[in-house]
Each structure stands twice: as structure tokens, then as C-alpha cells.
């Protein structure tokens, strides 16, 4: 399946400390009904860092089951341990995911050669389309255009990158280095349209958890050539995007979904609920956008 357009980095709903499967399935179904182009379980927004391996696998399995092949599922399967990444990627493939999203190893801060070796080892053990996740603000490691080219050239399973550096010059140089067959996806809701205009294929989005239809429409209008309409939507989304990052993601987006009556508001420690003054700001934005 083609990986293109608006792809939601799904939240993982919790209830009384456990995965809320019913809310999760309903959220997935609503996303598809609203026209979303793909789904990512177990990314940063899905609080993968606090899921046990058993829970991580269950979240992927539920997503694949609920989607039933209607849109691509790109399962978060990365780790700073290569062995763990192999285990999770194997499960993602066996569960029926269409691709794996593999974050760069965080904390270890490998050299470029170590980074290449990490992905080569995963690909040697599991043959599945892979999207590298570059998010320097979380990992302390940045994939340069030169390293991106090496990954694309040396690891045949790697089909693209989720680029969350926010650096449009870097995005342009990655596209220049890797060519049009390399799928570059925005990991930054603030720069969806600029990235598409450079030759990117879409976005793995936080804000689409609450406005899937609008995020899909932004990409759709761009691909139709309606640049003015796409620009209008990008500008319209900015207020919501800012609200989603008042505090650490996914605290605001989960709070928004709870206010909208879609999930229970629960995050796992060390994340905590929003500060009251920030919650007030979020409520005001949601009301302004007629989401409450």
C-alpha cells in the first residue's frame, strides 16, 4: 500500500492503568471514517516508551485487526537496543503491519557507521518496508542528508524517513540526495505544506488525532494542485498545532480527545495531566475551532 498523505500518530488510550481497547478501536474507526490515509500505532504520541513489550505488541495487533487493510499501518517498532528493535519489528511484520517506523537509537548516540549497522541488522532479520524516524529533540541524534542517503542506498528495506527536525533546508537536501523514490514524511505539523512543496509525500501527524478530516484535506488539496486551499488549511491548523504542544506531547492531544468525549484522560508517569492554566488555553482553542 502506498504511504502517502495524512497519517495519524495514534494516541494509546488508558483506563485505570490498562490499555482501553474499546476506546482505541473506536478512535481508529473514527480516523478511517474521517478519511485518514494511514495510521501509526506505538509512536511517541502512543506513549511507546511506557508500554511493556507485551502491551506494545497488543497495541499493534489491535490496530492491524481494526484497520482490516483499509489504510496502511506503519507500526512503531524502534528501540535504542538493536535486539529489542528486531523483536518488535518481527512482531509487527507477523501481525500484518504494512511497514515499521524505526526511531534512531536514543541515548546511545551511535556514530553514522553504528547507525547504518543498526538498521542493517534489523533488515537482515526482518524484511519489511522501514521508515526511519528522525527526531533530534527527543533522541539527541540527527540524521544528516549524507547519512539518509547511505541508509537508502545500503539498506534496501528502508523506503523513507519521518523528518521531525523542523529543518526545511535539511529536508530539501535529503530529497535532493535520495531522489523522488525516497518517501519523506513530515513529523512536524507546523510544516506539512512546506515539506510537501519540496517533494515530501505526507505527514505523520499529532493534530490529526483530533482533526483527521482537515489534515487529510490539506494533503489532498496539495496533491490536486489546489495550493491556495492547502495553504488556507495549513494556516487554519496552526492554532491547533500550537495548542497540541503547550505541554509535552501527548498530554495536550489526549486532554483534547478527553474533552471531546472520545477517551478517558489518562497518561502514564512520568507524564502527568496538564497545568490548569494551560488546560484553559487548550479549551479556548478547541471552542474557537468548534471542537467543543
Cell 535504542 -> residue: 80
Answer whether residue 288 is part of any domain: no
pLDDT value for 124: 97
CB 131 within 8 A of CB 99: yes
Answer whether residue 273 is part of any domain: no
Answer whether residue 160 is part of any domain: yes
Q: Residue ranges for the binding site? A: 45, 204
H or E stretch covering 40: strand 38-40
Q: Please, which pLDDT band fits residue 265 given cuts at 50, 70 and 90?
A: very high
pLDDT value for 290: 97
Answer whether residue 283 is part of any domain: no
Answer whether residue 263 is part of any domain: no
Q: Which one is catalytic: 57, 61, 93, 162?
A: 162
DSSP secondary structure letters along 75-98: EE---SSHHHHHHHHHHHHHHT-S
Give the mean pLDDT of 32-41: 98
**Host domain of residue 88:** 5-226
State pLDDT tens for residues 88-100. 999 999 999 999 9
d(CA 105, CA 110): 7
Q: Which one is catalytic: 24, 57, 93, 133?
A: 133
| 20, 240, 203, 46 alpha-carbon torsion, rounded to 10° | -20
| Annotation says 149 is catalytic | no
Look at residue 274 and tell me whether its pLDDT is greater than 80: yes
What is the value of pTM for the model shown? 0.96
Q: Residue ranges for the binding site for pyruvate? A: 45, 204
CB 264 within 8 A of CB 234: no
| Annotation says 162 is catalytic | yes
Answer whether residue 284 is part of any domain: no
> DSSP 3-state assignment of 21?
helix
d(CA 203, CA 8): 8
Answer whether residue 53 is part of any domain: yes
Answer whether residue 272 is part of any domain: no
Q: Please, which pLDDT band fits residue 1 given cuts at 50, 70 and 90?
A: confident
The CATH number of residue 118's host domain is 3.20.20.70
Percent of the chain's residues with pLDDT above 70: 100
Number of folded domains in the chain?
1
Amino acid at each position: 500500500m502506498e504511504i502517502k498523505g495524512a497519517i495519524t500518530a495514534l494516541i494509546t488510550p488508558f483506563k485505570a492503568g490498562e490499555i482501553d481497547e474499546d476506546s482505541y478501536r473506536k478512535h481508529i474507526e473514527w480516523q478511517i471514517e474521517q478519511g485518514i490515509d494511514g495510521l501509526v500505532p506505538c509512536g511517541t504520541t502512543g506513549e511507546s516508551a511506557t508500554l511493556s513489550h507485551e502491551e506494545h505488541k497488543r497495541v499493534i495487533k489491535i490496530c492491524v485487526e481494526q484497520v482490516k487493510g483499509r489504510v496502511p499501518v506503519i507500526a512503531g517498532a524502534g528501540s535504542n537496543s538493536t535486539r529489542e528493535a528486531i523483536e518488535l519489528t518481527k512482531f509487527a511484520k507477523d501481525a500484518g503491519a504494512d511497514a515499521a517506523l524505526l526511531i534512531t537509537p536514543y541515548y546511545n548516540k551511535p556514530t553514522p557507521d553504528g547507525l547504518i549497522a543498526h538498521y542493517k541488522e534489523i533488515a537482515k532479520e526482518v524484511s519489511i518496508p522501514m521508515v526511519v524516524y528522525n527526531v533530534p529533540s527527543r533522541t539527541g541524534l540527527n540524521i544528516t542528508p549524507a547519512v539518509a542517503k547511505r541508509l537508502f542506498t545500503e539498506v534496501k528495506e528502508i523506503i523513507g524517513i519521518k523528518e521531525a527536525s523542523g529543518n526545511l533546508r535539511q529536508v530539501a537536501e535529503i530529497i535532493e540526495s535520495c531522489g523522488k523514490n525516497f518517501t519523506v514524511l513530515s513529523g512536524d505539523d507546523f510544516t506539512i505544506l512546506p515539506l510537501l512543496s519540496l517533494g515530501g509525500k505526507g505527514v505523520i501527524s499529532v493534530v490529526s488525532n483530533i482533526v483527521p478530516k482537515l489534515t487529510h484535506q490539506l494533503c489532498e488539496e496539495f496533491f490536486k494542485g489546489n495550493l491556495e486551499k492547502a495553504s488556507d488549511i495549513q494556516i487554519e491548523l496552526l492554532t491547533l498545532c500550537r495548542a497540541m504542544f503547550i505541554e509535552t506531547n501527548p498530554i495536550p492531544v489526549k486532554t483534547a480527545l478527553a474533552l471531546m468525549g472520545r477517551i478517558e484522560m489518562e497518561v502514564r508517569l512520568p507524564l502527568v495531566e496538564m497545568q490548569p492554566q494551560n488546560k484553559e488555553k487548550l479549551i479556548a482553542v478547541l471552542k474557537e475551532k468548534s471542537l467543543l
